[in-house]
Chains A and B, each alone.
Chain A
Amino acid sequence: MLSRTAENLFWLARYVERAEYLARTIDATLRVTALPAAYIGKTNEWDSALLTAGVGAAFYDHYEEANERNVVEYLSFSSENPSSIRNCIEAARLNSRSVRTALTSEMWDTINSAWIELQAVWNKGPANREELAKFLRFVQETSLRFDGSAYRTMLRNDAYWFSRLGVHLERADNTARILDVKYHMLLPEEEHVGGPLDYYQWTSILRSVSATTAYHWVYRETLKPWLIADLLILNDTLPRSLASCYSNLVRNLDQIGVAYGRQGASQRHARGIRNRLEHSHMDDIFQHGVHEFIQEFIADNSRLGEIITKQYLI
């Protein structure tokens, strides 16, 4: 397949995944900020939403204050913010247009209808909370539909695998960024002194990766920060965990390698990261420092993106 087509499929999937992640982040932040101050403490949740979206610095070029109105606008509708939901959907549609031949009609239809639907929202902005909630839900549903139609309608060939690579690389990056911003809440067992304050923060972390229910099924425990860290980093059964993303990345890269009859740097690099995750224990990670671990992971993950690009996409 054309390198440019593969590149477009890869980025298309990343944009859709990112849009969904932003919608969930905003959603989770709205819920936690709706709580009385006594439950959430003095941290500015909107600031940390900006940080998890990776646009902390750029935001202040356009706004004075990180409050609900400004942050929601910047993350959702702003055309100034290159990775706002709006720009993600716009970019996803542009990419879809240039690779229409590689998409199934169901996938195209999902992106195109979402784009048409959202034009109205871009133009006037949501009038109230209810409309905002509807919008956020719509974005998440679009991603689900897109993913579902890819899963159900695409041929299992390189086009599918490159699109999956985009999903998992982006997803790993998103989960890692939440952990990076909130790592200070995730303390090892012996250090922790719990309070209602942290409880709602933890729920918020889980909600932004839609894993609140999953947590209870996996651990059958009340919320414990070290278990949350374990779930998001090492638990292969949670689709948004770093471990699960890397199982998938390794598998998709292997499938490409087999189809093309050749392995390369990206297969080796991905396997390296996967092995590290497989052989890590939360205790070691805490000892080594969660923050350092996550920072390293983010760098390694974006390095994988560069290697894939060099090997296949240009």
Chain B
Amino acid sequence: MAVAFDEMNGLGEDLRPAYQELSRWLKETPPDALEYRRQEAELLFRRIGITFAVYGDSEAQERLIPFDVIPRIMSATEWTLLEKGLKQRVLALNMFLRDIYHGRDILRANVIPEDLIFQNPVFRPEMNGQDVPHDIYVHIAGIDIIRTDPDNFIVLEDNARTPSGVSYMLENREIMMRLFPDLFSRHRVAPVERYPDELLSALRSVAPHNASAEPTVALMTPGVYNSAYYEHSFLADKLGIELVEGRDLIVKNDEVFMRTTEGLKRVDVIYRRVDDDFLDPLTFRPDSALGVPGLMSAYAAGNITLANAVGTGIADDKAIYSYMPDIVKFYLSEEPILKNVQTWRCREPQDLSYVLDNLADLVVKEVHGSGGYGMLIGPAATKATIEAFRDKLKREPEGFIAQPTLALSTCPTCTDKGLAPRHVDLRPFVLTGSSHTTIVPGGLTRVALKEGSLVVNSSQGGGTKDTWILSE
């Protein structure tokens, strides 16, 4: 593969302006001092208990996501462009969802094939004709961004269900400020600490019409065994709201209450980190013990706001993803600012035959997969894996999409052999409330720690970095 675009050094040895100060600092700092602080950072993470669980890995029930102390830096100009693109994209996602569950103009205009919606398991017929406050479905979006050159931001994936990772954005910054005060004093880094306040005000702004003036917001978690549990408790704490599990909630007369030591208390907005399928055993999976019986009927009655709304999966589905540029154009009559990765839809015969012919060069993903599970990275796969995938593709072509293997940009990272470039992506978090959309300057930079690896997912050995947006 060709040399990737490097966030610090560009395509050659031309140091990019945002990294000038960091580069100077790195030259002044002896390697063992850096190593010492790296260890200190790890100790801090472990003590705070920022861990995540990896499913199916009982040995390491609670693992630490490796943290790399070299920040990823972006100039104000770059951020302004990215921010504009993200707002545009999330606005289009919300308009699309409103349309899909109401008038379906986009289907009548033949922009998207109908069966892609109606035969999609994440489409929720329960949401047909259901109004949500201020027509907002995706209150919290995590849009995964990659770069292959200095000029373009490319969306790799839209996360419109229950995106996670924001606690790392906040904690990474805390720890960096503790360990590298000198480095901070040499930069002007935009702060991220107001994220919890922004989130809370966005959530309160979408309370049901019959809620009190001070709506009660709660964060709903599947419980301590969930891989993102740390983040759930962290956010509830920062927001100053109760962290509830399904068993703490009860529905009476289509209103939702939490069980407290002083009796039942009404809840108006639930920031839920539980998937649709598990929300209400009466509507969705009857075997789910995580949910609240009757929650969906309270939702239908307009007595509770769920954030994100039910049924948003239809917007971040990987097959729908390939239509995002058309979706943006359809609703906003604007050119999309953020690019899409070229995507072959295996459900379409020509695309499928191209994909089958070029498996060794492509990345093939499950339409409903996430977390880097169940994907094929052609150039890195063995012949046998490729053949196994070929069979899967032929059996169920509509379950897959394929994309070219992109050379994600790299960023200098601490390795056993000193600093070396490693591939990164970026997940900024986009908050939408009743009156405006906010993006705290920064996000979660994920880094593939293995040399040459393109998989940044934490479940697959990826790490994280602090993300700095410089002020003008």
Interface residues of A (CB under 8 A from B): 1-6, 94, 97-98, 100-101, 108-109, 112-113, 116, 158, 162, 256, 260, 312-314
Contacts and interface: CB of A to CB of B under 8 A. Distances in A.
A256 B233 CA distance: 25
B49 A3 contact: no
17 contacts: A2-B248, A2-B258, A2-B259, A2-B261, A3-B259, A4-B247, A97-B49, A97-B229, A97-B233, A98-B233, A100-B234, A100-B237, A109-B47, A162-B261, A260-B261, A313-B261, A314-B259
Given A98-B224, A101-B236, A116 B46 contact: yes
Interface in B239-277: 242-245, 247-248, 258-262
Contacts of A314: 259
Given A2-B244, A97-B233, A100-B237, A113 B47 contact: yes
B46 A4 contact: no
Contacts of B247: 4
B66 interface: no
A97 B224 CA distance: 7
A4 B259 contact: yes
Q: Which of A2, A5, A256 has the most CB of B within 10 A?
A: A2
A46 to B, nearest CB: 34
Interface string B206-241: 000000000000000001100001000110110000
A258 B234 CA distance: 31
A2 B233 CA distance: 14
Given A1-B260, A97-B224, A162-B261, 4 more contacts: A3-B259, A5-B242, A97-B233, A313-B261
Given A97-B224, A98-B224, A112-B49, A2 B242 contact: yes
Interface in B91-125: none
Contacts, number: 52
Nearest to B235: A101
Interface of B: 46-47, 49, 223-224, 229, 233-234, 236-237, 242-245, 247-248, 258-262
Contacts of B237: 100-101
A107 to B, nearest CB: 12
A100 B237 CA distance: 8
Contacts of A1: 242, 260-261
Contacts of B236: 101
A101 to B, nearest CB: 4
A158 B260 CA distance: 11
Contacts of B234: 100
A1 B248 CA distance: 11
A108 to B, nearest CB: 7
Contacts of B46: 116
B260 A2 contact: yes
Contacts of A4: 245, 247-248, 259
Contact of A6 (B223, B224, B261): B261
A3 B224 contact: no
A100 B262 CA distance: 21
Q: Which of B49, B233, B234 has the most CB of A within 10 A?
A: B49
Q: Which of B233, B237, B244, B259 has the most CB of A within 10 A?
A: B233
A41 to B, nearest CB: 47
A250 B46 CA distance: 39
Contacts of B261: 1-3, 6, 158, 162, 256, 260, 312-313
Nearest to A7: B261
Contacts of A113: 47
Contact of B224 (A5, A94, A112): A94
Nearest to A93: B49
Nearest to B249: A2
A256 B262 CA distance: 10
B210 to A, nearest CB: 23
Which 5 A-B residue pairings sit nearest by Cβ, starting from the closest?
A: A101-B237, A100-B233, A312-B261, A3-B259, A6-B261
A1 B262 CA distance: 7
Contacts of B223: 98
Given A97-B229, A98-B223, A108 B49 contact: yes
B47 A3 contact: no
Contacts of A109: 47
A256 B244 CA distance: 22
Nearest to B236: A101
B47 A112 contact: yes
Contacts of B258: 2
A101 B247 CA distance: 18
A2 B216 CA distance: 13
A101 B233 contact: yes
A245 B234 CA distance: 34
Contacts of B244: 2
B243 A101 contact: yes
Contacts of A3: 248, 259-261
Q: Which of A6, A101, A256, A314 has the most CB of B within 10 A?
A: A101
Contacts of A6: 261
Nearest to B229: A97
A260 B223 CA distance: 28
Q: Which of A97, A108, A112 has the most CB of B within 10 A?
A: A97
Contacts of B242: 1-2, 5, 101
B142 to A, nearest CB: 22
Nearest to A105: B48
Nearest to A262: B262
Contacts of B49: 97, 100, 108, 112
A2 B248 CA distance: 7
A6 B49 CA distance: 22
Contacts of A162: 261
Q: Which of A1, A4, A6 has the most CB of B within 10 A?
A: A4
Contacts of A112: 47, 49
A104 to B, nearest CB: 11
Contacts of B248: 2-4
A94 B46 CA distance: 16
Nearest to B49: A112
Contacts of A108: 49
A22 B46 CA distance: 28
Nearest to B258: A2
Nearest to A260: B262
A306 B247 CA distance: 20
A158 B229 CA distance: 24
B227 to A, nearest CB: 13
Contacts of B47: 109, 112-113, 116
A101 B261 CA distance: 16
A45 to B, nearest CB: 38
B44 to A, nearest CB: 11
Contacts of B229: 97
A116 B62 CA distance: 11
A109 B243 CA distance: 20
